[in-house]
Each structure stands twice: as C-alpha cells, then as structure tokens.
Amino acid sequence: MQFEPDFTLPLTKTGKSQTVFPPPWYYGVTYIAAHVKLAGVGNLIPEFFRADGEGWVYIAEFISTSEHNWDFMYKEPDLVQYMEAAIGLKVEYEGRNYLYFPFMWVDKDWALVRGWLDGYPKKLANIRMTRLHPLLPKYNKVEPGLRLGGYATRGGGVMVRMEVQLKEKTDSLPLKDFGPLINIRRYPTRGDGEKDVYEVVSRQRDESKYGEIWKGDAKVTLEGYVNDELENVSVQQVYGGYYYPLYFRVSKTILLKRVEKVQVQS
Amino acid sequence: MQFEPDFTLPLTKTGKSQTVFPPPWYYGVTYIAAHVKLAGVGNLIPEFFRADGEGWVYIAEFISTSEHNWDFMYKEPDLVQYMEAAIGLKVEYEGRNYLYFPFMWVDKDWALVRGWLDGYPKKLANIRMTRLHPLLPKYNKVEPGLRLGGYATRGGGVMVRMEVQLKEKTDSLPLKDFGPLINIRRYPTRGDGEKDVYEVVSRQRDESKYGEIWKGDAKVTLEGYVNDELENVSVQQVYGGYYYPLYFRVSKTILLKRVEKVQVQS
Amino acid sequence: MQFEPDFTLPLTKTGKSQTVFPPPWYYGVTYIAAHVKLAGVGNLIPEFFRADGEGWVYIAEFISTSEHNWDFMYKEPDLVQYMEAAIGLKVEYEGRNYLYFPFMWVDKDWALVRGWLDGYPKKLANIRMTRLHPLLPKYNKVEPGLRLGGYATRGGGVMVRMEVQLKEKTDSLPLKDFGPLINIRRYPTRGDGEKDVYEVVSRQRDESKYGEIWKGDAKVTLEGYVNDELENVSVQQVYGGYYYPLYFRVSKTILLKRVEKVQVQS
Amino acid sequence: MQFEPDFTLPLTKTGKSQTVFPPPWYYGVTYIAAHVKLAGVGNLIPEFFRADGEGWVYIAEFISTSEHNWDFMYKEPDLVQYMEAAIGLKVEYEGRNYLYFPFMWVDKDWALVRGWLDGYPKKLANIRMTRLHPLLPKYNKVEPGLRLGGYATRGGGVMVRMEVQLKEKTDSLPLKDFGPLINIRRYPTRGDGEKDVYEVVSRQRDESKYGEIWKGDAKVTLEGYVNDELENVSVQQVYGGYYYPLYFRVSKTILLKRVEKVQVQS
C-alpha cells in the first residue's frame, strides 16, 4: 500500500504530522442507540432531501486508526480513541432511501477532520457513555435488565441524553432499512478562482461485522443550544433501544451529485 | 446499609449532591504497569519514611462507584469512570514495608477528593492508555507480542510515559512484596482552634480479585514540571511490564500514627 | 514569611509539588453576577442554617496565586488561572447574617482543593464567560447597553446560565448586606481514632479592593443534574445584574463552631 | 450584508448551526511571541517552498467572531474565544517572501475548521499563557521587567514552551519583513470524480490595528511528539521576545496557484 504524505494538513515531507492519515481506516465501535420517530426535522436537512422523521440516535465509543498509524495504539492512544454522538435520519434523495446525519459530535480533532473529509458535519462535544468491567459485582457483562446510558454536551447546552434498558438478543438492526450512507462534502471557496466543494456523496464500508446485538427499551432527550438547532425537534416515539459492537473499514466515498452553489453577493 | 448525607461537601439534606458518596466503594480497574528501580527518590518521601528506589509505575482505567450511586453507571458515566497514573515506592516505616504513592494523578474531581479522604496526593492530569476492541483486525485481544502504552501530562509538562510489550501470562505481581498501602491524610488547620489533620494511615481493601495477569518488557519515562518534582528522579532499571484487570472494594483506612505538626510562625 | 513544605499533598521535602501552596493567597477576579430571590433552597443548607431565598449567583474569572508561586504566572499559567461559578445565599446562623455558598464550581484541581481547605463545596465544571478585547470594533470596553453572559455545565447537565445587560455605574453591591462569609470545613473520618473535621468557619479577607462596579438587568437560569440538586430551586425574581473586578487577599479562617457529628452505624 | 446559510456544515435551512459562520471575521488578539532562528525546518515545508530558518513563534489569546454571531459574545462565549500557538517561517515562493505556518494549534473546533478553510494546518492542543489583572499587587500592568509565558501541549507531548521578559516599548515587529501570509487549502478527493483541493493561497486582512508593542528577551522550547515532527527542529537563536495586542478583519483569500496533485495508486 502506498502512503500519501500530503493527504491532509499539516504538510511535511514525511507525512507523519498529518491530522488524518490516508485510508484505509479501521473502526471498532460500541454503540448505545435508539430507533426513534422525530418531529420537526424539516430545518435539519438540505432542500434536496426529504424526511418523514424516522431516526436513529446514538452515543458510541470508537477505537479507530488508519492502516498507517497502528503504532499510535500504544504510542499515542489519544489519536486512536474517540467518543461520538449522532442524530441520523432516513431521508429520500432522488427516489431512494439513505441514512443522513444532520448532527454528529466527536471529541477529537482528527475524528472531526476525517469526518469532514467524507461529508459528516462533526463538531466537538463532551460525550460519555456507560462502560462495563468484567470483575465488578454489577455491570460486569451484557445481560437482560442492564441499564446503559450516555450524553453529549456542547458548550453551554445539552445535545443528547439517552438511556437503554436491555431485554434480549436480536439478529439485526432496523438501521438496515435506512439505506446507504449519504453525506455532503462541503468546503466553501474563499476567493476568486478557488475551488468550491459541494458534493453529495455516499461513504462506503468495504468490510463490516457486527458483534452480539441486544435490544430493549430506550429514553431519548434532545435539547440543543444556540449553535445546534434542536429546539424545534422533539422525540415523538421511541421504537427501541440497542447496544452492540461493530467493526467496519472505510476507503472511499462515491460521488452522487455535485450541488451547484448559487453565488452569494458580497 | 445506612447512608450518611453529610459525608462530603456539598452538604444538602438529602446528601445526593455529595462530591464523594459514602463507602463501600467498588473498583474495576485495568492496569498497564511497570516494576522499576528509581534513583533520586529521596525528595519524594516524608522524613519518617525510607526508600531504596524499588518502584511501581502505572497508568490505569477505573470504573468505580459507591454502593449509593450505581445508577450513575447509566445516568452519569462521567462520575463513575476515571483514568489514573501513579508512581509507587516500596517504603520502610517503623520497621515494616509498605507501598507508598508520592505522586498520583486522576482526571475527575470526585476521584481526586475521594483519594484525598484516604491520603492519596491526587492531582488532575490528562491520562490516556491503549484500549482494545474485540472486532478490530488487530488489538482485538490480549496476546504475546501485543504493545500497550499510555501517558499522563499535567499542564505544561509530561509526567509519565509508558510502553509494555506482552510476553506471557504470569501468576502474580511483584507488587505483593511491597507490603500494605500507606497513605497520609493531611488537611492543614486554617485558623486558631481548628483541627489540623496529619495522619499516617493504611487503606484497606475488604475484597480483591485479579483477572488474567500478563507480563513482558517495558519502557518508562518520567519527566515532571514546575509543580511535579520528577526532574531529579530517573529510571535506573525496568524489571518488567504488566497488564491486568483487578477488582477491589474499600470501606476504611486504619490509623497508624498521628504526625505531630510543628507549628509554623506566621 | 516562612514556607510550610507540608501544607498540602503531595508531600516532598522541598514542598514545591504541593497542590496548594501556603497562604497568603492573592485573588484578582472579574465577576458577572446577579442579585436574586430563589425559591426551594431548603434542601441546599444544613439544619443549623436558615435562609429566606435571597441569593447571589455569579460566573467569574480568577487570576490567583500564593505568595510562594508568583513565578507560575509565566511558567505555568494553568496553575494561577481558573473559572468559577457559584450560588450564594444569605443565611442566618446563631442570630447573625452570613453569605453561604451551597454550590460552587471551578475548573482547576488546586482551586478545588484550596476551596475545600476553607470549607467551600467546590466541584469541577466547564465554565465560560464573556471577555472583551480593547481593539475589537464592539466589546472593546465596559459601557451602557453591553451584554455579558456565561454558564457552567457539569457532566451531563447545565448548572447555571446568566446574562447581564449593563445600564450604569454604581457605588456598591447588595452583597455587602449579606454579612461575612460562612463555610463548612468537612473531612470525614475514615477509620477508628482518626480525626473527623466538621467545623463552621468564616473565611477572612485581610485586603480587599473593588474596581468600577456596573449595574444592569439580568437573566439567570438554574438547572442542575443528578449530582447537583438544583431541580427544585427556581429563580423567583432577579433584582439586578452586576459586572465588576475585585482584588482580595486571604490568609486564614475563623472557627465559629465545631459540629458534633453523630456517629453512623456501619 | 448577505448571509450564506450553507457556508459550512452542518447544513440547516436557517444556517444557524454552522460550525463556522460566513465572513467577515473579526479578531482581537493578545500575543506572546518570539523572533527566532530555527535549524532543521526542511521537513516542515512543501517541496515548492524554501526556508532559511528565520521564524516567528507565538502563543496567543483570541476573541473572534463572524459578523453574524456577535450575540455569541454573551450567549456562548466558548464559540468566540480560543487559544492559539503557532510556528511561523519566512519562506520563499516564486521569488517572493511570505509568512508560512507549518504548525498551528488551537483549542476550539470552529477555530480549527475556520483555519482549514483558509489553509492553516490547525490541530487541537492544550494552550495556556499569562494573564494580568488590573487590581493584583503584581502582574497588574505591562511594564519593564514583566515576565510572561505560555505553552502548548498536545496529547502525550509538549509542542512549545515560551517565556518573554519585557524591556521596553517598540514601534513595530520584525514580522513585517516576513511578507504576506501564505497558506495551503487542502482537501483530498475521496472518490472518483470528486474535487481535490490543493491550492496555494494568501489570506487577506482587510483591516488591521496594533496596540502597544513591547519588546524584550525570550526563551523558546520546541519538543513535538509522534504526530508533530518537531524532534529535528532546534532553536539556534532567539532575536527577541514580544508582547502586543492586535485587531484584524478577514474576508477572503487570494489564489496564488493550484497544485497539481499526482494521483496515488491505491
């Protein structure tokens, strides 16, 4: 595999200072998630999407690395671990269903930048979720009745709070009916003649594997604050809560369409 | 079990706002540790201890709760999870060996305060260590050759950096020859007639259980900065590195001696 | 001035690693504050205090150092700067009025420990407030109409949010009618024969100087979360908002009374 | 002034959730800086730049906002305040001198993203610097002999530490001889047909104003860590240290050249 030294900033001749190393990228994730029906999501999607409010909210812990920095696993754990929270929607785009994330928060810079490269609208937040320990007298394993939870706060506001109480194992996630991922790569031009990037893309997972999936009940609260417009979004129904590990690998996105940006008078 | 509502500040009538809830306290820990010989530790211990430099350095992840706030496991994970780094020394006190920690860092307020209650000199630091994920293509399980690492930084300086490469399972830790824990409860008087606390105590574990212990090679770096005097401490030898989970429960300390504080002229 | 090397942990022979250096302590503060009437404060105070709900809420930025670490001003700014938020109440104790803080949050370990030494119930929080810059086209100076604000969040919850809009200069603060400071030094015993500290004290300021005090309107929101019981506290009235700098120096506390702790059956 | 609701992610119909609001952007800055001669900078610049090692290192505090979110000054101070540290170099590009920043660290997401939009290689770091308070007995004003300092740490390593001792006022900065700013807008393509952005640009300041500039001696330490290659960079000489406030306004960048990215075989 070839190594691209100028994939991302900062640019050095070796490429070893890059914020995000070139793909493939590996992801080991543990999710606390909820399948929900949301009201008031119209403001959260671009004009060219449609949404009926079916959604997927999660808090998750990621262990993730590029092929080129597995050594950070022991040399710099901060650059291969992050927390993530997100609000996903089933959207319709040109007659097909997709999974779109109008809001996504992480707690590391490289996770933020890597997300932006593929069109995820990541911001930084303070994200926490339940962790187990195999030797504790309680919370030592996944089992019926176990309560898990988490939250994301950003600046002066609470973005998401979740609780899930497990009931039983299940075979699959309702997420499989949401369709492929859809994202928007967006970097505005900053001067005459510069490239303006505004592309609808679909991020591809070239490998993927679920661990044991547990299902149960869930509670979800969305609040938002001045820079995260969740004040008009409400949770109408919670269909179920989930807890599961997932592995996947990402190498590229597929371009669906270039958005023609109307020039703004300045 | 009775609940003490005024065990720690803040004092409310319910006791539900306490920074540290009353014991018993449960600890599920994962350690990356090294058995070392240190030079220059004379400044790090009080006059009444002796040390030959045999030491124990670790970075660890804790899931920990009082009997009274198991619900925080899902409602407020931030108050039951913390990271810890520490430098331990085998010290002699009144003819017996003990394990004494001249430096200990954590990343949560309640872990700091709980530590001070029992005589641990905890400060806040930024602490990171390797985590595994069962579905990743590498770093999915403990095995020979696995490299683990971590560090603690505090303010403008690096306190500790560690790397361990695993070789094999082992039955026990060299730590068992260090002796019982010894700590110093210390809260200075702040005015005439107020209590001055200066007590040598031993923290008790009323339950304890090790998981699988792995041994290997290790590298340890100690640096320090203006408020953490490690500049004259050097690592002379690293006897071995360790990786293991541990469970223990704590309810109390045992008073060994009250230190007579010489009054300072002000 | 004599230097006490074992004033606080960690104990080294030089005393240079102490979390809190011995007094005197110097404080340069900038406050955004509000004079309020609160309902539901009964749970927030010990049995031996009375309160009618008159309160003082603030967000503030502190530059503060001991006499012994002025060099940290340039060597380690993190150890001389902190943010603080607090809820204060006018309480009656043995027939006299005092200013008592049932809740106080800071963002540094040494500020937390220093507070505990004198009986302040400090926890860590994420605290932000407006800052000005002399060369910006707006927000370059204090003036009528200026809007200032801030907040404190802790873990998964919002503790306090405030906004103040300035109207005019004023000569003094309503705080002067609250009475002296009253605090509770509290370190629980952890084993047989160990000292249990439970003292009502009054923190003394041996020097104090106000800068220009501005007054205006204010909005205050209190929320709390599972470990900070503000859910039954509401803001009934806001009498006014304030913005002002203050300098003070602290050397000691005065003991008012020792609380006889009823022994808890364990 | 027109408001572009889809300038940056996340995209909502109102545009109020954008990570970075559209320009113009206002900056009120306070700098601690040093004029230095660095050795070993060859790896830090792209092939098409030349550098002789003359450099400019700073730690700074920013109050900054877009025209569209002045209300965040009191509603969400976290989104208008940040800390920044940077290593600048005088580089030659196509026969002209420029000021290029191979490394730049900030402590907020929006400052990072805004930087990337204009070609600054910003990463997150923990950054601190001296602050004064007008009422403290020391450190109450800028004056000869005053010592100021700061640092940036990132993950497990120290990036920069600085100290400056002031001597006297001066009229201007050596920075004026470094030339205009030069940056590299870089967003890699992620799939067939997608735009790859690789542009050499110059960021424009359409307004700028210095406050009082103070000069003195300085000490600068550069360390770096596994993802920030400063290990071969050393400070050969420190010409002087500086402390000053600056205001500037930014609306756009000017395209100097598009870099033809050689396609990488995957």
Q: With bands split at pLDDT 50, 70 and 90, how would you rate the model's confidence at B262?
A: low
Cα distance between residue A226 and residue A215, in whole Å: 34
Which of C136, C158, C212, C244 is the best mutation test for D, with the most CBs of D within 10 A? C136
Q: What angle do CA D172, D176, D180 make, to 5 degrees?
A: 150
Tell me the residues of chain C between 135 and 164 that have a Cβ less than 8 Å away from chain B.
155-156
Cα distance between residue C138 and residue D67, in whole Å: 11
Whether C133 sits inside 8 A of D77 (CB atoms) is: no
Whether residue A257 lies within 8 A of chain D, CB to CB, comes out as: no
- Chain B positions touching C88 (Cβ under 8 A) are none
DSSP-assigned letters across all residues of D187-235? E---STT---EEEEEEEEEEEEEE--EEEEEEEEEE--BTTB--TT-EE
Whether A77 sits inside 8 A of B247 (CB atoms) is: no
DSSP-assigned letters across all residues of B112-133? HHHHHHTT--EEE-EEEE----
Q: With bands split at pLDDT 50, 70 and 90, how would you rate the model's confidence at D2?
A: confident
Among residues B205, B143, B218, B123, the alpha carbon closest in space to that of B174 is found at: B218
Cα distance between residue C140 and residue C133, in whole Å: 5
Q: What is the pLDDT of residue B2?
A: 78
Q: List the structure tokens of C4.
A: 């006490």
- Chain A positions touching D104 (Cβ under 8 A) are 10
pLDDT, tens digit, 9 for 90 and up, residues D168-210: 999 999 999 999 999 999 999 999 999 999 999 999 999 999 9
Among residues C27, C213, C81, C203, the alpha carbon closest in space to that of D137 is found at: C27
Which of A153, A155, A156 is facing C156, going by the closest CB pair? A153
Give pTM, 2 decimals.
0.98
- Chain C positions touching A125 (Cβ under 8 A) are none
User: Dihedral sign, CA of A47, A49, A52, A53?
Assistant: negative
Low-confidence ranges of chain C (pLDDT < 50): none
**In chain C, which residue's Cα lies nearest the Cα of D208?**
C135
Q: How far is CA B96 from the centre of its chain?
A: 21
Pairing of strands D96-106, D122-124: parallel
**In chain A, which residue's Cα lies nearest the Cα of B165?**
A74
Whether D63 sits inside 8 A of C136 (CB atoms) is: yes
Whether B30 sits inside 8 A of A163 (CB atoms) is: no
Cα distance between residue B106 and residue B80, in whole Å: 13
D53 has a pLDDT exceeding 70 = yes
Over range B17-40, report the average pLDDT: 98
Whether C109 sits inside 8 A of B124 (CB atoms) is: yes
pLDDT, tens digit, 9 for 90 and up, residues B102-159: 999 999 999 999 999 999 999 999 999 999 999 999 999 999 999 999 999 999 999 9
Q: What is the pLDDT of residue D261?
A: 76
Instruction: Count the helix, strand and coil residues of chain D and give each as a percent rounded to the nearest 5.
Output: 10, 55, 35
Prediction ipTM score: 0.97
Q: What angle do CA C244, C249, C250 make, to 5 degrees?
A: 125
Decide: A37 and A239 in contact? Cβ < 8 Å: yes
Q: How far is CA C212 from CA C58, C174, C247, in A?
A: 17, 15, 12
Cα distance between residue A122 and residue A113, in whole Å: 8
Which of C77, C136, C164 is facing D247, going by the closest CB pair? C136
pLDDT, tens digit, 9 for 90 and up, residues A136-160: 999 999 999 999 999 999 999 999 9
Give the minimum alpha-carbon distance from B125 to chain C in angstroms, rounded to a whole number: 9
pLDDT, tens digit, 9 for 90 and up, residues C154-213: 999 999 999 999 999 999 999 999 999 999 999 999 999 999 999 999 999 999 999 999
Whether A158 sits inside 8 A of C155 (CB atoms) is: no
**In chain A, which residue's Cα lies nearest the Cα of B32?**
A74
Which of C128, C151, C156 is facing A151, going by the closest CB pair? C156
Cα distance between residue A44 and residue A58, in whole Å: 17
Which of C158, C221, C222 is the best mutation test for A, with the most CBs of A within 10 A? C158
For residues D262 and B22, which has the higher predicted lDDT (pLDDT)?
A: B22
Which of D9, D44, D197 is facing A12, going by the closest CB pair? D44
Q: What is the pLDDT of residue D1?
A: 60
Touching B (3+ Cβ pairs <8 A), the chains are A, C, D
Decide: D178 and D99 in contact? Cβ < 8 Å: yes
Whether B112 sits inside 8 A of C116 (CB atoms) is: no
Whether B7 sits inside 8 A of C188 (CB atoms) is: yes
- Chain B positions touching A141 (Cβ under 8 A) are none
Over range A58-69, report the average pLDDT: 98
Q: With bands split at pLDDT 50, 70 and 90, how would you rate the model's confidence at B1?
A: low
Give the minimum alpha-carbon distance from C81 to chain A in angstroms, rounded to a whole number: 19
DSSP-assigned letters across all residues of C197-235? EEEEEEEEEEEEEE--EEEEEEEEEE--BTTB--TT-EE
The three-class DSSP label of residue A22 is coil
Which of B153, B155, B156 is facing D156, going by the closest CB pair? B153
Whether residue A253 lies within 8 A of chain D, CB to CB, comes out as: yes
Whether C46 sits inside 8 A of B109 (CB atoms) is: no
- Chain A positions touching C163 (Cβ under 8 A) are none
Among residues B218, B254, B262, B208, the alpha carbon closest in space to that of B25 is found at: B208
Sequence-distant (≥ 6) Cβ neighbours of residue C233 within 8 angstroms:
C38, C39, C40, C41, C44, C222, C224
- Chain C positions touching A156 (Cβ under 8 A) are 128, 151, 153, 158, 161
Which of B74, B79, B84 is the best mutation test for A, with the most CBs of A within 10 A? B74
Over range A1-28, report the average pLDDT: 95
Residues B140-167 as b or e (16 or more Cβ within 10 Å = b):
eebeeebbbbbbbbbbbbbbbbbbbbbe
Over range D235-253, report the average pLDDT: 98
Whether C157 sits inside 8 A of A158 (CB atoms) is: yes
- Chain C positions touching D247 (Cβ under 8 A) are 133, 135-137
- Chain B positions touching A130 (Cβ under 8 A) are 73-74, 77
**In chain C, which residue's Cα lies nearest the Cα of A225?**
C158
Sequence-distant (≥ 6) Cβ neighbours of residue D86 within 8 angstroms:
D57, D58, D60, D101, D103, D104, D105
Backbone φ, ψ for residue C88 (5° rounding): -110, 150
Whether D70 sits inside 8 A of C138 (CB atoms) is: yes
Which of A158, A219, A231 is the best mutation test for C, with the most CBs of C within 10 A? A158
Whether D139 sits inside 8 A of C247 (CB atoms) is: no
Mean predicted lDDT score pLDDT of chain B = 97
Among residues B67, B159, B62, B162, the alpha carbon closest in space to that of B112 is found at: B62
Touching C (3+ Cβ pairs <8 A), the chains are A, B, D
Q: List the structure tokens of A172.
A: 């699959």
Cα distance between residue C67 and residue A11, in whole Å: 45
Q: How far is CA A126 from CA A76, A83, B24, C102, in A?
A: 20, 8, 29, 26
B202 has a pLDDT exceeding 90 = yes
A264 has a pLDDT exceeding 80 = no
DSSP 8-state secondary structure symbol assigned to residue B135: T
Q: What is the pLDDT of residue A260?
A: 82
Q: Quick check: bond before B188 cis, omega within 30? A: no
Whether A247 sits inside 8 A of B133 (CB atoms) is: yes
Tell me the residues of chain C between 190 and 249 that have a Cβ less than 8 Å away from chain A.
none
How many C-beta atoms surround the C-beta of residue A81 within 10 A?
A: 23
Q: What is the pLDDT of residue C264?
A: 61
Q: What is the pLDDT of residue B151?
A: 98
Decide: A247 and B133 in contact? Cβ < 8 Å: yes
Which of C13, C199, C265 is facing B195, going by the closest CB pair? C199
Whether C13 sits inside 8 A of B121 (CB atoms) is: no
Q: With bands split at pLDDT 50, 70 and 90, how would you rate the model's confidence at B265?
A: low
- Chain B positions touching A78 (Cβ under 8 A) are 128
Whether D157 sits inside 8 A of B158 (CB atoms) is: yes
Q: What is the pLDDT of residue A1?
A: 59
Full set of structural domains in chain A with CATH: 25-258 (2.40.400.10)
Over range D46-69, report the average pLDDT: 98
Tokens 């060996």 belong to B97
**In chain B, which residue's Cα lies nearest the Cα of D162?**
B156
